[in-house]
Amino acid sequence: MKLIIFITLFSTSSAIIRIIYKKKFLLSILIALELILLNLIILKILASYKFKCGLKLSFSLFLLTLSAIEARIGISILSLITRKFRTKNISSVKLLKK
């Protein structure tokens, strides 16, 4: 149990570090956000088993749905940027500056 909690906290912190230092590509940011949301689901399920409050899947399914929607929107934005500007690099695309 402690090992699973350690692994989830380590992967969450590595995902946050990836978001901070790898801001160049949108896909790496999306993968890091998916990892954070997956770790939240795992920690929620572990906490519900530890405190014997029953497995309430409503919040877990909400987070899973939220992560799927976030991935869909992000990948569609990435494909639009790639089609319009012919690059996947976020820093070279100046969308808000005209």
Q: Sketch out the chain's domains with CATH numbers.
A: 2-85 (1.10.287)
3-state SS class at 47: helix
pLDDT of residue 65: 78
pLDDT of residue 95: 59
Q: What is the pTM of this model?
A: 0.64
Q: How far is CA 39 from CA 7, 9, 12, 13, 36, in A?
A: 9, 8, 7, 10, 5
What parts of the chain have a pLDDT lower than 70?
53-60, 88-98
